[in-house]
Amino acid sequence: MEDLNADFLDVCRKEAEACVERGDMENARAIYDNILKISFPIVEEQIRKDPKIIFAIMAEAAQPGPPGEAAQVLLNYLDKKGLVP
């Protein structure tokens, strides 16, 4: 599996948060969606190793706004993979 570039994802996260702060929800959602698409396979692998991680994702998905929406997209993906209890 290709290594996850955590620094790149952190820069993307900060940009998405800046978009939210200035009210640019469309770009915030797009950036969060891209972060998830990059990290889906890695998160899936980690959940297979430690299923308790799913509960943190569930808690994040309950939050309002783009971060919660992004977590819900990830949760839906993991559910389709049979990884959500």
Q: What is the pLDDT of residue 1?
A: 43
Q: What is the pLDDT of residue 3?
A: 59
8 A C-beta contact, residue 29 and residue 70: yes
8 A C-beta contact, residue 40 and residue 33: no
Q: Who's near 49: CB < 8 A, 6+ residues apart?
A: none
pLDDT in tens, 27-76: 998 998 888 788 888 888 889 999 999 999 999 999 988 788 888 988 99
Q: What is the pLDDT of residue 10?
A: 86
pLDDT in tens, 11-32: 998 999 999 999 999 999 899 8
- Helical ranges in the chain per DSSP H: 6-21, 25-49, 53-61, 65-80
22's tokens: 């200035």
